């Protein structure tokens, strides 16, 4: 106790001496340094007595010194954060640099506005967000599929394909962020070319486009009103989005050929809300009933039942919502958007069964028209035939164009705007020649009768050994 009292008597003198020295130095010091010294001085005078004793005694170690260092460090850190000032001392400088490096790393974990940070940088560990995981529906005889979630064998199979699931999830996260961005600015009065190019530019950044390893899986569909699918504007198309339009935004992303095919419908007039609700409900019903060993025709029957249960009133006229019977969902393969199996949206389709490990696009289209589509308008979508062998080509321009297609798109779909973007010109004759030879397949816009309205919703699902994963599911739909 006597030692503590002695320290109390000595401390005020030391503090006062320190104050005098600091006042002399303050006269010549820059304003930022003065500010720091004033903060330090305030912390010393307001510190508890036990701490002051340790600070006043130059030779005393222990708790007092540690407390002083901690307080000083806290003040300096706070000042660096608020004012962005550099410390004079070299040791403090290095500490400041370390602090700044940490801040940069944190900055990468947040997306910019507008989005520009690639998904692979947002999740450097490679652990991308999962979609909605659902248990498989019970079988026809009532047996539950819950055993799959606990089976060690199924879990091991799931882990064995983790790299593939991860590619799907990365592409799906890019899709979610791009569509959220598009919803924030799409409005009447914009040209369809502007909408598609802004969407595609953002998508290329987030997916970090890299040749055939990562990029856009197919052209952005923006079909309007009676046109249900496969419309994207060609160069010079003056079409403008209007308030009373109903626009289907259908775009895809891929990583290593693992394709996310996902679509939604944009409207501005609330008169279409009931039509959108019908199609969204039908798509979610199809997703719910899809599963391993489920017959494709059974999925179609449940979709039709739900969609036809809706009636909509548009401009004083009542319509029963009809599923577009000649449009289907489909299985998805690597670098192959339609890989062989079709998921009907009406009853009476194939009795083929879904299998473990497959990926499907479950999509439904509802219409106020005839409920059937036909080819119409100028073609914009094209895709190389996946199964085509060697075909001799005579036209040199056609040979050149095929090389461009192979190098940039492979067996993924593309559009004329994308050929323009690559610097190609005067290629229409060569493209027609490749179509005539069966090397390239054209996919013209698909339309119901004029004056009708069509809507679409679509998700990609993965039939994993343990769970059914709606990988493209988001907060929006």
Catalytically active residues, by annotation: 250, 261, 330, 338, 363, 458
Measured CA to CA, the distance from residue 360 to residue 412 in angstroms comes to 16
The answer to whether residues 286 and 206 touch, using CB atoms and an 8 Å cutoff, is: no
Measured CA to CA, the distance from residue 144 to residue 141 in angstroms comes to 9
**To which residue do tokens 């036990």 refer?**
50
């Amino acid at each position: 106790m006597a030692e503590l009292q002695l320290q109390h008597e000595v401390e005020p003198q030391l503090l006062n001496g320190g104050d005098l020295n600091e006042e002399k130095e303050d006269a010549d010091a820059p304003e930022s340094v003065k500010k720091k010294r004033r903060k330090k001085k305030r912390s010393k005078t307001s510190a508890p007595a036990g701490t002051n004793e340790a600070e006043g005694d130059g030779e005393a170690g222990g708790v007092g010194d540690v407390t002083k260092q901690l307080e000083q460090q806290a003040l300096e850190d706070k000042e660096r954060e608020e004012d962005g000032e550099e410390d004079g001392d070299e040791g403090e400088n290095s500490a400041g640099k370390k602090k700044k490096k940490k801040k940069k790393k944190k900055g990468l974990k947040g997306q910019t506005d507008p989005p520009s940070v690639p998904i692979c940088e947002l999740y450097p560990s490679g652990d991308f967000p999962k979609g909605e995981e659902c248990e498989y529906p019970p079988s026809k005889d009532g047996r539950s599929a819950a055993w799959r979630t606990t089976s060690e064998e199924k879990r091991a199979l799931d882990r064995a394909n983790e790299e593939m699931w991860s590619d799907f999830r990365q592409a799906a996260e890019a899709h979610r962020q791009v569509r959220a961005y598009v919803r924030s600015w799409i409005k009447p009065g914009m040209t369809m070319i502007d909408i598609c190019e802004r969407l595609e530019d953002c998508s290329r950044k987030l997916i970090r486009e890299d040749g055939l390893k990562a990029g856009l899986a197919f052209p952005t569909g923006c079909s309007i009103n009676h046109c249900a699918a496969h419309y994207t504007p060609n160069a010079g198309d003056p079409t403008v989005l209007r308030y009373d339009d109903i626009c289907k935004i259908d775009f895809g992303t891929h990583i290593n050929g693992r394709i996310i095919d996902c679509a939604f419908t944009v409207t501005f007039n609330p008169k279409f809300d009931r039509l959108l609700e019908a199609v969204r409900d039908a798509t979610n019903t199809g997703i719910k009933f899809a599963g391993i060993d489920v017959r494709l025709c059974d999925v179609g029957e449940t979709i039709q039942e739900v969609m036809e249960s809706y009636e909509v009133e548009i401009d004083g006229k009542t319509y029963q919502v009809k599923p577009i019977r000649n449009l289907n969902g489909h299985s998805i393969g690597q670098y192959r958007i339609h890989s062989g199996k079709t998921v009907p949206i009406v009853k009476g389709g194939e009795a083929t069964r879904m299998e473990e490990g497959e990926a499907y696009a479950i999509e439904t289209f509802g219409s106020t028209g005839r409920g059937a589509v036909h080819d119409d308008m100028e073609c914009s979508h094209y895709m190389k035939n996946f199964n085509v062998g060697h075909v001799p080509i005579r036209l040199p321009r056609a040979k050149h164009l095929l090389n461009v297609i192979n190098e940039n798109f492979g067996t993924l779909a593309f559009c004329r705007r994308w050929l323009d973007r690559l610097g190609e010109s005067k290629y229409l004759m060569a493209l027609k020649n490749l179509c005539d030879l069966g090397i390239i397949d054209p996919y013209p816009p698909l339309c119901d009768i004029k004056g009708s309205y069509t809507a679409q919703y679509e998700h990609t699902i993965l039939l994993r050994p343990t769970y059914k994963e709606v990988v493209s599911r988001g907060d929006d739909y």
